[in-house]
Structure formats: C-alpha cells, structure tokens
Chain A
C-alpha cells in the first residue's frame, strides 16, 4: 500500500460527518472493535488509551509508595545480626538477612521513583488530556501526525514493558537518577540495563508527542484563532512540548552512554577508569530539570482553564500567563546545576542559585494572576474547582519551600534530606497530580459522556487533600531535623513523625480509591452529560458530548476569546442553556 491509499482508508473521507456517532460508539463486533482501537489514529481514542495506561502506572507506583511508607512505620533495627521491627518482613520470601530489607527497600524506592517519573508524570497530562483536548480546543480534526501519535503510544507501552520486566527480574536499586558509578557497578546487570533502556525508549514517545503538539498548534488552529485566542492550556502544552523536544535527546545520549559504560566499561562516567561521574550528573540534570517543567506546565495550563470556567470570570493577565509558560520553558534549561550544588565549583553554584530564583518569577506571575482572577468571580465549589484551590494552596507551599533549597547556605543543611522529598512531592503531587485530577473531573463528562457523582468526588478530594498534607507536611519537619532521604531505617526520635506520615499516606490511598469508585460508577451508572456542563467557552464544549468521530460537524470559527464570559454569556444564564446561539459561520472553509 502507498501513502496515498492509507491516508484515505484509515482516516475516512469528507463524507459522513453529519450522521456519524460518538467516537465511543462501537461500529463493529467486539473483536473488530478492539482491533479498531488498537489501530486507531483518532487522537481521542489514543488519549483515552494513554489515560488508562498512565493511570495503571500511577497505580503501580502508588502501591510501591505505600509499601515504602509501611516499611517506615517502624525504625528497622539490626540487633545481633537479626532484623527487628521491619514491617516489610512479610514481603521478603525466605531468609530475612540484615541486608535484604534494606536492599528490598532500595528496589521498591527506585521502582516508585522510576515509574512515577518516567511512566506516569512525564507523559501523564500531555499524552492523555493533552492528546484528547489539544485538537478539540484548537478546533482541529486531529493532531498534525495521527500515525506518529499512535506510534508514540505503542512506544510508551513498549518502554513501560522494559521497566516492568526489570521489576519482575528483581528490580533496580539505583534510585530513579541512575547516578554513576553506582549504577554501573551495582549488582543486577539485566535489570539495570532494562530499566535504563525503558527510560530511553520512553523518551522517543515523549519527543513524538511533543513534536506533534508543536506542529498541531502552529498549523491546525481553527479559522479566527490567533495565538492569543488560544486557551491557556494550549499555551502550557505548547511550552511543555518545546521542552520535551529539546531536552529529551540529551537524556537519550546519556542513557545510551550509561548502557555502554555498564556493558563495555568504556570509562566515560566511571572514575575508576578515568571517567567523570559529574559529567553524568550534568547530562542527567540537563534533561531532568527541564523535565520537571514538563511535569508542572501542563498542570498550570489545566488550572488556568478550569479556574476561569468554574468562576465564570475572564482570566486576569492572559498574556502574562501565556508568556510566563514560555519563560518557564526557556529558563528551565539554565538551572540544572542546582541539583549538584555540592559537586561543582563555588562560582558555578552561585550562578545556578541566581538562575534558580529567576525561574520563580514567571511561576509567581501565574499564581498571582490566578488569585487575582478569583476576585469578583462567581465561584462554584465543584470538584474541579476544589482541586484548583488545593493546587493553589499546595503548589504555593511547594514553590516557596523551593527557595531555601535554591539558596546555597540553607541548601547545604537541607539537601538530600526529607525536606527535599517533601518539597518535591508538594510540587509534583500537590501541583501536577492535583491539577491532573482537576482536569480529569473537569473534562470527564466530555470524554465519556457521563457525569460523575459530585458528592462522592468531593469526599475523595477532601481525603486526598488531608491525606496528602498529613503525609508530606510532616516530612518538612523530618527534613529540618536531619532525616536523610532514601533510608530504610532511622533513629527513634523520628518515629512519631514517620508514623503520622505513613497514616497520612493511607488516607491518601483511600482518597484515590474513592475517586476510582466514583469514576467506575460514572462510566456505568452516571447520568448522561450535557454538551457543556460547566459553561465553558473553549471549542471543546461546542461539539457533542462525547465528541463525534471527526470532532466537529462543521469546522468551528472562533468569534470570541476563550474567557470572554462577560461579552458572550447573557446575564442570568445557566450552563444548561448552552449551546449559546451560534455565531454566524462566515468564512468557514469546510
């Protein structure tokens, strides 16, 4: 088959847009439907497949986290060569040796970190919600390269399988950062190589998604949609994509060199052979620092959009928020050195410290704009909005605790302690995961055509919020008191705080179970969602719920901004009154 035929057979022609059904409606028998999904180039189906894949990985990583917290319930003590108080003992088959608990802890810790970073939080929002909503919000029929999009999903699954294979083989104890020379000398050759290759392969999927989104944003905006008419979620995903495309190749070559170092001992990173382990750290963080903005920027985009819709208010400082996304993307490439303050010269550390404070400015611009947008808005306390408030609260704590870590003098005291763990989780969980949940609840009705149970979701939100704070706020105290990160055992003085943290993590886990129950209930028994349940003005609400296969019956024409609630919405309206009287489709080229 040639390109010519394929583009037609798979994507369908121009005909049939007006009588087609929802993208979820199966057109064939069960087996053919599965095949249809596995070979689909529809960004909505790929987004849904990504959503389930990343949520599954989130589940695996979450279980690992709960195992870690359970182990930390009691300090592991080694008395006369016997392990006492190790809550992990039931997990260890066979003889419990003094080292086995610690080793198992290291492996579970690495599993938690590697899965959460490479398989959940990096692809998380862009690949699932971004894939589904970026073309819809732009008024496009699909992403620029639909087959590349499907390929990125398969590469993601293939890469994740390497990671799972590594875990099934016994796992890796290097930590998710794979620091040399430990990662090139520690036991478990096949596991380490499999895990490193998993991260390498997942990089391709990340690059393909980012590349696709950049081109889609440039070339597939609906008629009438200029750059400053785009929803801020698009701006955020666009900025994210730039980082994905420009940073990921560097981790690619780094991990490749790590594999060669491990297999052939080429001596580039191993000081024993004349190599430079700090070079690995530079390479690693040149990717892995920008990538924390890959994790947080789409979350910020979700917050902008959800906040505007649920307070029915034009966002304050649209351009400031849009440009701050780009500014964060640009500055993110200049701050990697703050992960290595103690392994580089003083001058370099001072420069990186300064640049680190610099990145706080566009971030603060966003937070101030969001809070200013709340003023005189009609705030509704739906679950997405509750999560927006949770985000503003938790992310601010996460951001502000980053400052003592960016300051050289205080960082010398706090680095590699639980303070870092708590800061990181306040930003990544309190920021990204909370925003992911906000977006998921906000767009769930559009994606699956069903409402969720509001009360149940609010209870879940409360449990997650309380559980999260109990788990991680205690860790700030642990860190300032000197509890180092990545340790399986600790002195008795930390016992109480560790216990509180662990119980908090159980509440957090319970919160997620409530959310899972609410979503499952919604899929099977939820009431049918209207076209525009929240009264949003962005284009995804102008199509049916769930969207039809080709997204829109007619190519939409943008006649108002994404947040022009004052101009567009008649006074005294209700979301149920939507769709609004459609603007004249003049100039539609469809």
Chain B
C-alpha cells in the first residue's frame, strides 16, 4: 500500500490522453485514496477468512470419515493418480506466481508485462480445469466412480466408497467452482487492464483478485496431499 501516490494531481475526467488509472478518483465517502485502498484490503481479508471457514467444513468432514472408515478412504484415495494432481499443483503455483507478478508490473507501470502475466494466469486456470475434467473427473465418472446414488463402480472393495467419492467430488467441485469464479475475475482484470484502468496509484481490484487467487491456490495445496498422497 505504501506504493500508492496520493499526491497525483487530480486530472480531468475527460482527458483521453491521460491513462484511466491517473484519472481515477476515490469514492466520495473516503477521505483519501489510501483509506479506500486499506478498507478494500481489510474487506478482502475478511472475505478470505470466510472462504477458509467454508472449506474447513469439508476438511472437518474428511477428518471424521477418515477416522470412521479408514479403509474406504484409503481405497478411494488409491484410485487417484498423484501425477495428475501434482501437475495441477504445479500449474496453480505458476498461476499464483504470475498473478503476483502482474500486480508488481502494474505497480511499476509495466503494462505489457502485466498483460502477459494476467493472460498466463488465466490460461493456467483453464489448464487446471482441463486436466481435472479430461484426466480425472471424466474417466472416473465413466467407470462409475461417482458420488452417492450415482455410484456404480462394480469393483469397489469397500462398502463406504461412495462416501469417499462424495467427499472427493464435493470438495474438489467447490474448489473448481472457485477456480471458475477466479477465471471470470481475471478475465475482467485483463479487459480493464487493457483499457488502462490500473497503474501505480490505483490497482485495488487487482490486489483483491490476486489475494483471492492465492487462497484458491492455497486450498488446493491442502486438498492435494489429503486426497492424493495420504493413504
């Protein structure tokens, strides 16, 4: 936040030669742009705490059923291929890095680099979903490894395997929903950044989406070992 320069002269709203971010004026109920930025950041962090609590319910359910039916969880987990999960982890980590890079580039007013980084972030998110659908959800669904009533995998070794698939699909499904939401937000950033909305003195939304994207990444960092690696 220290990088915000509040001493920018207030420029005319209609002067098209000046980039949009220099023409940005903070909301009228704020005293300074700094206050507005800080408030947005507190808001984002509070929102992220709700995200963590949302996923904590799934982690709680996972722990309980691991204790209740360790064999079923182990059997279910053995169907997952750690290589696809690992690849997806790498993909998300790269996207987190490029997201952070994009924000730094905007702070330094390197707009083309910011754009490239944002686009890579978006592509990584799409790649994550593509891998998830093509190599994980798709084949497993086709084999009958489905949640609840839809489960009809004939070679199940444990009676409670459907519960495992319930936990697997719900937790990764909610995570994937967050990835889709993130893609929409990053697409919005790409569009606005191309119009010149963000620069050293104004990048609030980028900062917020960036933090959100890191949390989505972080949740996967916990889901990956719990679902794929621990047997």
Contact = CB atoms under 8 A, between A and B. Distances in A.
B39 A267 contact: no
A7 to B, nearest CB: 5
A145 B29 CA distance: 10
B12 interface: no
A211 interface: yes
A152 to B, nearest CB: 13
Interface stretch (A212-220, A360-368, A540-548): A212-220
B171 to A, nearest CB: 10
Interface in B157-177: 159-160, 162-163, 165-167, 169-170, 174
Instruction: For chain A, give the interface size range.
Output: 35 or more
B54 A144 contact: no
B205 A3 contact: yes
A145 B37 CA distance: 11
A219 B192 contact: no
A144 B31 CA distance: 12
Nearest to B54: A249
Contacts of A260: 147-148, 166, 170
A2 B20 CA distance: 9
B11 to A, nearest CB: 11
A216 to B, nearest CB: 8
Interface in B12-57: 13, 20, 23-31, 35, 38-40, 42-43, 46-47, 49-51, 53-57
B57 A253 contact: yes
Contacts of B29: 11, 140-142, 146, 220
A497 interface: no
B20 A4 contact: yes
Given A4-B20, A4-B23, A250 B53 contact: yes
Contact of A265 (B13, B49, B64, B148): B148
A268 B150 CA distance: 15
Contacts of B28: 7-8, 11-14, 141, 550
Contact of B35 (A3, A219, A268): A219
A8 B50 CA distance: 30
Nearest to A279: B64
B150 A264 contact: yes
Contact of B53 (A12, A218, A219, A246): A246
A141 B27 CA distance: 10
Q: Which of the listed residues B43, B165, B167 has the most CB atoms from chain A within 10 Å of its own CB?
A: B43
A248 B46 CA distance: 12
B197 interface: yes
Interface stretch (A269-277, A338-346, A451-459, A572-580): A269-277
A42 to B, nearest CB: 10
B66 interface: no
A71 to B, nearest CB: 37
A274 B69 contact: yes
Interface string A242-274: 000110111011101100110011111000011
Contacts of A589: 31
Most chain B CB neighbours (cut-off 10 Å) among A2, A145, A267, A275: A267
A539 interface: no
Contact of B39 (A141, A218, A274): A218
Contacts of B35: 219-220
A4 B197 contact: yes
B47 A264 contact: no
Contact of B166 (A3, A12, A146, A268): A268
User: Which of A13, A248, A279, A283 has most B Cβ within 10 Å?
Assistant: A279
B46 A268 contact: no
17 contacts: A2-B195, A7-B25, A7-B28, A146-B27, A207-B47, A211-B46, A219-B38, A219-B39, A246-B50, A250-B54, A253-B174, A257-B170, A265-B149, A266-B167, A267-B160, A267-B162, A273-B148
Given A249-B53, A266-B162, 5 more contacts: A4-B197, A142-B29, A220-B35, A268-B167, A274-B159
